[in-house]
Homo-oligomer: A and B are copies of this chain.
Amino acid sequence: AIIPPLVEASAFKPCRKDMDDVEEKPKDTIKFTAEKLSVDEILQLVISPPCGAVSLFVGNTRNNFERKKVISLEYEAYLPMAENEVRKICSDIRQKCPVTHIAVFHRLGLVPVSEASIIIAVSSAHRAASLEAVSYAIDNLKAKVPIWKKELPYGRETKNAFGNCFKQSNIRKVI
């Protein structure tokens, strides 16, 4: 049997029109990484010629938690589920707002004070959609995605929502 090749439409060169005039396929870019996040790189992923607006949210490690000093946060995620939940949030956003591209990047491991653990970027033709989408994304990400953080050096022991016990640690669900 002849199996047709799986080739994305975007792999073809647009010949008939200017590059600018081709409607871009909306894309969701979701990444969990141990590397430092770059706001500029993430912005570039969502920029699109017909989009006049990009809204972004950057979540940084704060130097305090419950009045205690924090040096860095350590993040871990239950990856397959976390990616699925972020994908669902992207899909919900597309039901609600006319957005073009969405990028959600989450850093894992140690994140020092003033560095970003999460960056969300959303582009849209006009500003209301991307502003609403970013707000929705961060609220839902914090409520639904299985990511835990541990404040260092401050410590405490907590069971997570999935019943695992992070002994001698202070991992807690990101809220």
Contact = CB atoms under 8 A, between A and B. Distances in A.
A84 B149 CA distance: 42
Interface stretch (A54-62, A89-97, A102-110): A54-62
A51 B57 contact: no
A62 B52 contact: yes
Nearest to A66: B9
A135 interface: yes
A30 interface: no
B59 A52 contact: yes
- Count class of interface residues, chain A: 35 or more
A49 B62 contact: yes
25 contacts: A9-B66, A9-B67, A9-B68, A12-B68, A12-B154, A40-B40, A43-B58, A47-B114, A49-B62, A49-B63, A49-B114, A50-B63, A52-B62, A53-B57, A53-B58, A53-B60, A54-B57, A55-B56, A55-B58, A56-B56, A56-B58, A59-B127, A62-B125, A131-B131, A131-B138
Given A48-B114, A57-B131, 14 more contacts: A12-B154, A14-B68, A15-B69, A20-B113, A21-B63, A47-B60, A50-B62, A51-B60, A52-B60, A53-B57, A54-B58, A56-B58, A59-B127, A131-B134
Interface of A: 7, 9, 11-16, 20-21, 38-40, 43, 47-64, 66-69, 113-114, 125, 127, 131, 134-135, 138, 154-157
